[in-house]
Amino acid sequence: MVLRPEPTARQMRLAVELRRLRDAAGLAAREAAALLGVSHVQISHIESGRTGVSEERLRRLAAHYACADERFIGALVAMATDRTRGWWERYRGSLPAEFLDLAELEHHATYRWDVDFLHVPGLLQTEDYARGLFTYVNPQFPATEVEQWVAHRMMRKTIFERPDAVPYEAVVHEAALRIRVGDRAAVRVQLARILELSEAAHITVRVIPFDLDGFGGAGTAMVYAGGPVPKLDTVVRDGPHGIFFVEAEAQLGHFRTLFRKVRKASLGAERSRDFIHELAKEL
């Protein structure tokens, strides 16, 4: 049995969910192993994402764990049997693994929400905007590496362009639209790009203006990716050493509530478009 040296975030999510099911059933790893007729070491490898699990074994485990949620089990089976090698794989070994994990997460998402206060969300950025951000944050990196990051970010937009386009909603603060990552011309192009994308039926962009009274939600920046069932939703947040994924059910509920509060505080879709038009005229 060949072990994965570095499981992807999606593989780890499956592993974590299987461990949670076993814990909820009150079974030890040795007991779960006995149910399958394997060693407890193999269960350990499955629950650490180091190896996969077949549909048959996954369903047997779910039955022994008394999990009756068929939609959830079906979603886990889909994760376990998925053999997709997406476009992001071409960057494996040349970009941080978290970049690839985010692209894979977006590829499988059933919907996407973004909340941002200081920058235009990545999926809405132009090449020049993304290049300006990467260059500013990492001035020591060679241009060839920065261009790889930019190309990867631009490729992530394929979730908007495929036949089953992912429904997307972004709530962006006025500050993010005004901060000049580039010069005035670059900002105008960026605002025009946001307006162009927002014309699509599956893309909604909302703005929170500076003059909104009683708004204290500036710490709620997030990426929220909907899973096939709510239990498999994921929140992506920036940390001091890169991005990290939030997957605990209670925390997911917390972030869903926060997003609804921020969305309620924002301008409607049409008023937001008008707002961005007016902002572009000022430049």
Contacts of 1 (CB under 8 A, 6+ apart): 42, 45, 51
| Conformation bin of residue 223: beta by default, left when phi > 0, alpha when psi is -120 to 50 | beta
Does 29 share its domain with 107?
no
Provide Rg for the chain, Cα atoms: 21
Looking at residues 237-243, what average pLDDT do you find?
Answer: 80
Residue 1 domain flag: no
Helix (H, G, I), strand (E, B) or coil at 226: strand
Single residue among 34, 58, 81 that ends a domain in this structure: 81
The DSSP secondary-structure symbol of 95 reads B
CATH of the domain at 44: 1.10.260.40
CATH of the domain at 255: 3.30.870
CA 122 from chain centre, in angstroms, equals 11
Residue 253 domain flag: yes
The answer on pLDDT for 81 being more than 70 is yes
The answer on pLDDT for 253 being more than 90 is yes
Does 156 share its domain with 38?
no
Looking at residues 21-28, what average pLDDT do you find?
Answer: 97
Does 205 share its domain with 122?
yes
Give 37's strand partners. none
Quote the domain boundaries for residue 34.
9-81
* Per-residue pLDDT reduced to its tens digit, 174-229: 999 999 998 999 999 999 999 999 999 999 999 999 999 888 888 889 999 999 99
The answer on pLDDT for 241 being more than 80 is no
Mean pLDDT of the chain: 95
Does 144 share its domain with 59?
no
pLDDT of residue 1: 64
**Are 27 and 20 in contact, with CB atoms under 8 Å apart?**
no
* Per-residue pLDDT reduced to its tens digit, 145-184: 999 999 999 999 999 999 999 999 999 999 999 999 989 9
**pTM recorded for the entire structure:** 0.94
